[in-house]
Amino acid sequence: MLSYILRRVAIAIPTLLLLIVISFLLMHAAPGGPFTSERPLPPAVLANIEAKYGLNQPIYVQIFNYIGGIVTEFDFGPSFKYKDRTVNDIIANGFPVTLTYGFLSFLVAVLVGGALGIAAALKQNTWLDYIAVGISIGAQVLPNFVMAPILVLIFTLWLGWLPGGGWNDGAWQNLILPVIALSTSYMASVARLTRSSMLEVLHTNFIRTAMAKGLPYRVIVFKHALKPALLPVMSYLGPAFVLMITGSVIIDMYFSTGGIGQFYVNSALNRDYAVMMGITILIGGLTILFNLIVDILYAWVDPKIRY
Amino acid sequence: MKFSKSYLLASVVGTALLSTSAFAAGVHPETGEKLADEQTFTYRVLDEHSSFDPQVNEDVDGSEIARNLFEGLYNQDNLGNLVPGVALSHTVSDDKLTYTFKLRDNAKWSDGKPVTAGDFVFAWRRLASPELASPYQWYAELMSVENADKIVKGEMKPEELGIKALNDHTLEVKLTKPLPYFASMTTHSSTFPSPSWAIEAHGTEWTKPENIVSNGAYKLVKHVPQETAIMERNSNYWDNENTIIEKVETLVINDENIALTRYLAGELDLTDAPAGQFPRLKKEYPDQAVVFPRLCSYYYTFNLSDSGLKEFKDPRVRKALSYALDRRVITDAVLQAGQFPAYTFTPAVTAGFKVPDVDYAGWTQAERDAKARELIAAAGFSKDNPLEFDLVYNTDEGHKKVAIAMTQMWKQKLGVKVNMNNMEWKTFLNERRNQNFELARGAWCGDYNEASTFLDLMNSESGYNDGRFNNSEVDDLLDDAKSAADPQPNYTRVEEILAAEMPIIPIYHYTEDYMMNTQLKNWPIKNAEQNWYAKNLYKVAK
């Protein structure tokens, strides 16, 4: 197992390097640059700015310096747009925000979705199943960009219970709407996946054997059926978790949370190269990490899987 | 160019009178209105501003913040006229090249240090220095400060800039050429003073709330990037006694519809009315939906360079396209937010600018249409041989609506075939700058309130002349206007040439459409540049 983990980590390094180089090249290939504006800068001014940020060097030197900065000093460079701040500052400010509401949304999605899915599978074709399936389909067709305005309309404008946006250092009032908006569609997916894989497992031979043996239903479900039923759910949850904690542009935009999802999109539009690279690397690194964690969990859940 | 003594006297006396009245009574000292208990002004900003550093900032949101945190030589009043800031008055030498500013001796930084002429010298040198590499370095050149261009190019040291502190309260600026509106350019935030000691102590971190030192009516107390900046009264500000708003808060909200929702929920005092919603808002909230003119022009520019369409080289074609546009339909039916149809590039609200009577502005639309048909036929186009070209705008719902209306009018009236394209902003700018277009959208807002801020774009030497219009008479008139006692005749002539040559199609002049809390008073509605100062605002009780 340990050698497997080490091997995966070893592969992760060239993967990340490749990600950096390709993103860097793609980004510089986009027309316009960070200092393209409605008022074109006089050439002398532009030259000064490009010299300051090292943009006047050949692109391979820029990539080399960039990677060098990360490896030696963990320095992801300055933001071209927000001139008082570095990429490290921006991520240090924004990532805790997205991590907080993303993690909470993940918990809600897993707990509520999982419970709904299991309940529906156990009571297949009963009213409970129909309600659970109804809720999950309903939630699936309400993506966060639809949920967010509806929630704000109801809870902010009509009822006046909760603020329509802002982060306010993560006060609970400011957390509720973003978490609901972000978690609903994930919750629906978790519910449907859990239900179908649970149903599949409940119809396998080893469950039938357990039933025949006269084991209590509770033991069958929680000890024998749940673990294998979770496998497909888990492979969904790994990437979903990364997506959730790295922030949703819609949530950040709609609730003005100050999370990094918004910075990510704005940095692409502003051609703020360093910020865009920094967040790409963060998301890339987390994706690799959580895929590894999911694979390790597989082995733990399913004894048939050995690396 | 000197403030009259009587004005100065009046303001000094006025200040003395005001400072004796107390706001604790909760009544406005001049108007007698009952003031609200909570004097917090919260407004929406579209995006996080680029910097709190006055010399580094490059966006409108940031300069609004800078105007509250810092104070330059002059401020603007509610009409956009110059009023004393740190400078009390100034004199101009006979050759109009040397400006001597007299600074007030009671101006202080938020840490209690006095504001001196040296702080301006430091700031302006900083603005021009290649080391700081401010995107607003060009502003130092635009102000024609001596040696600014050479310093920007790295040929001279920042210390050689034409600005000098004669003593702590006398500042001398030398220009390379006479600039009649030089004094008004000092209201721009990039010319505000900066505290050398704070910058030397903290480097780029000096704008963090815990480090920043500022000389304006407010000081920064909290900043959460992408969410909010909170400013509170600066007790060291020289006119603090007359400030009513206690706290200024910005809320970063990218989407204007969301901002409107939060405004309606009472979280904001001021936000922009989302495009297309103004008529509805005006109906539902007649007191809160306000509209006023802005110093901005919306136009389309022909590519007249070698890479442009050869058909556009014919002024008859350009004029026909311009005449056939019913601008009233665009402003009244498409945009519906009080915009002004434009027949000249320079907006009517520009200070000291009298809109010239260009020929086609006075015609009826039927006359313009008839003339357009005549011109397009004369240029050799007909139903069987239609003019065809590409039109490009940056991706935006509002621009799309205007473009659709335009192409429809051209199709119906002139049988012209137009291919509409839209591009993401930076790509669009790149293509327009490199003359990779046939007809492109453009918009320009004045950097200062004088017609040359618009018309200089038509100078063949201008870096902003994306259509590459080249007319030596226009160039001469604009150069001459810089030193003319009365530049208006030059501007009139330039606008007439533009109407005759039609290198651009003026479409409309912008308005600002706001939703504004009715408790908020004294907003400078008549200041076309919309330079507002929170220290002049106040909130009345409900």
**pLDDT tens by residue, B230-288:** 999 999 999 999 999 999 999 999 888 889 999 999 999 999 998 778 889 999 999 99
> What residue has token string 């990600």?
A19
Residue in B225, B429, B431 nearest the CB of A82: B225
Q: Is B149's CB within 8 Å of A44's CB?
A: yes
Look up the pTM and report it.
Answer: 0.84
Q: What is the maximum span of chain A, computed from C-alpha positions, in angstroms? A: 85
Reported confidence tier of residue B467, pLDDT bands at 50, 70, 90: very high
Local structure of residue B187 (DSSP, 8 states):
T
CA–chain centroid gap for A93, Å, is 17
The pLDDT tens digits for A212-266 are 998 898 888 888 888 888 888 888 888 888 888 876 788 888 888 888 888 888 8
Residue A131 phi, psi (nearest 5): -65, -45
Residues 188-247 of A with CB under 8 A from B: none
pLDDT at B321 over 90: yes
Question: Cβ contacts (< 8 Å) between A150 and chain B: which residues?
Answer: none
Which one of A35, A41, A45, A249 would you mutate to disrupt binding with B, by most B Cβ within 10 Å of its Cβ? Answer: A45
What integer best gives the mean pLDDT of chain A?
A: 89
pLDDT, averaged across chain B: 91
Residue B191 token pair: 């010319």
DSSP one-letter code for A184: H
Chain B residues lying within 8 Å of A30, measured CB to CB = 426-427
Q: Indicate the residue of A40, A254, A256 with minimum beta-carbon distance to B252.
A: A256
Rg of chain A, C-alpha, whole Å: 24
Among A17-31, B3-17, B62-76, B168-182, the least confident range? B3-17
- The answer to whether B509 and B297 have CB atoms below 8 angstroms apart is yes
Task: Please judge whether A83 and B204 are an interchain contact, meaning their C-beta atoms are less than 8 angstroms apart.
Answer: yes
Give percent of chain B above pLDDT 70: 95
Of the partner residues A49, A160, A256, the one whose CB lies closest to the CB of residue B133: A49
Percent of chain A with pLDDT over 90: 36
For residue A287, what is the enclosing H or E element? helix A273-301
Q: How confident is the model at residue B12 (pLDDT cuts 50, 70, 90)?
A: very low
Min distance A73 CA to chain B CA atoms (Å): 18
d(CA A260, CA A284): 14
Q: Does A45 contact B443 at a Cβ distance shorter than 8 Å?
A: no
Å from B541 to nearest chain A CA?
22
- % of chain A beyond a pLDDT of 70: 99
* Range B418-427 average pLDDT: 91
Residue found by looking up tokens 């967040």 in the block: A279
Residue A188 in tokens = 């629906």
Query: What is the spatial distance between Cα B168 and Cα B387, in angstroms, rounded to a whole number?
Result: 65
Q: How confident is the model at residue B100 (pLDDT cuts 50, 70, 90)?
A: very high
| pLDDT at position A295 | 87
Share of chain B above pLDDT 90, in %: 74
**Nearest CB to B258; choose among A37, A42, A165:** A165
B433·A82 Cβ contact <8 A: no
Among residues A24, A17, A14, which one has the least CA distance to residue A63? A24
Radius of gyration of chain B (CA): 25
- Is the ipTM of this structure higher than 0.95? no
CA B495/CA B489 separation, integer angstroms: 10
- CA B109 to CA B193: how far, in whole Å? 10
In which band, very low, low, confident or very high, does the pLDDT at A300 lie, cut at 50, 70 and 90? confident
The residue that leads in pLDDT, A83 or A195, is A195
Average pLDDT over residues B315-323: 96
How far apart, in Å, are the Cα atoms of A8 and each of A227, A285, B391?
Answer: 25, 12, 52
Specify the pLDDT at position A247: 67
- Give the residues across from B82 on adjacent strands: B76
pLDDT at B486 over 50: yes
Rounded-to-integer distance, Cα B207 and Cα B228, Å: 15
CB-based contact B227 A160, cutoff 8 Å: no
Q: Does the pLDDT value for residue B6 go beyond 50?
A: no
If DSSP codes are grouped into helix, strand and coil, which group holds residue B245? coil
Of the candidates A32, A153, A165, the beta carbon closest to that of B429 is on A32
Q: How far is A302 from chain B (nearest CA, A)?
A: 44
- The pLDDT tens digits for A118-128 are 999 988 889 98
SS3 label, residue B196: helix
How much is the pLDDT for B15?
A: 42
Q: How large is the average pLDDT for residues A142-171? A: 88
